[in-house]
Amino acid sequence: MPAKKCKALIGITCSRLVGAAWSKLSKGHFINYTLEAYGRAVAACAAAPVLVPLGQFGAGLELILERLDGLILSGGPDVHPRHYRGMPLAGLGDVDDELDRMELELAGLALARDIPILGICRGHQILNVACGGSLFQDIAGQVPGALLHNPGIDKGTTSHTIKIEKGSLLYRIIGKDEIWVNGRHHQAVEKVAPGLKVSAVAPDGIVEALEDPSRRFAIGVQWHPEGTWKNDPYSLRLFEALVEACGA
């Protein structure tokens, strides 16, 4: 059979192991996971995944974005609170300042160029911080009565429901106002950035999705569709929508 025509070139940021996580997993874990999970989800939508390496700034990022049709801001460690004018609180986990700086700059450049963006977990939080919002550093310590958003289960297993705002781009993509998702996070959006709109929340009120209605496609989701796209049509639809936006 002839190969499918490639519809878009999608850049994917990739984290590295830092702090306590370094001693628990192999050095290649995050890169391998990025290729296996995010990369295969993109490829399933007839697009080509390209990893954006750590340490790119300024002209390097500009050149990379000139070649990309879309961007995925992937999951990873905590975002340092200094990037949203906060001080570290109890419960803050491992941070990677170089990754923070690169992804925040990359998100700002992509938004300015109106390149389609899908932020996933940490990427959802980076999108909010890049636009001027803030984060809860640790849900359990700052949000009384919150659900368990970081259960010790596989990313292929859903853990709680979300309510999707009718009329949002996310609703048009998913086609339902309530679905199950696979949350694996302990930080979350606190103050929503100016210009961003909440498009989904968990039963406890935690922001599960944001979007920028002024862009052709800029969505952040707090869950992990890269872990469920093979069996969950709603997860796959997110990646399909990103690729479709690249060709719009």
The 10 Å Cβ neighbour count of residue 90 is 8
pTM: 0.93
- Asked if 110 contacts 66 with a C-beta cutoff of 8 angstroms, the reply is no
Q: What is the mean pLDDT of residues 187-195?
A: 98
Mean pLDDT of 117-131: 98
Rounded distance between C-alpha atoms, residue 87 and residue 153, angstroms:
30
What pairs with residue 160 in β-bridges? Answer: 181
What is the tens place of the pLDDT at every residue in 30-60?
A: 555 666 789 999 999 999 999 998 888 999 9
Structure tokens at 43: 């490829």
pLDDT number for residue 41: 96
Residue 113 makes CB contacts below 8 A (sequence gap 6+) with 65
DSSP string, 5-54: PP--EEEEE-----GGGGGTS-TTHHHHHIIIIIIHHHHTTT-EEEEE-T
Q: Which domains does the chain have, with CATH numbers?
A: 9-246 (3.40.50.880)
Q: What band does 226 get if pLDDT is binned at 50, 70 and 90?
A: very high
Active-site residue numbers? 121, 224, 226
Asked whether the beta carbons of 238 and 118 are under 8 A apart, the reply is: yes
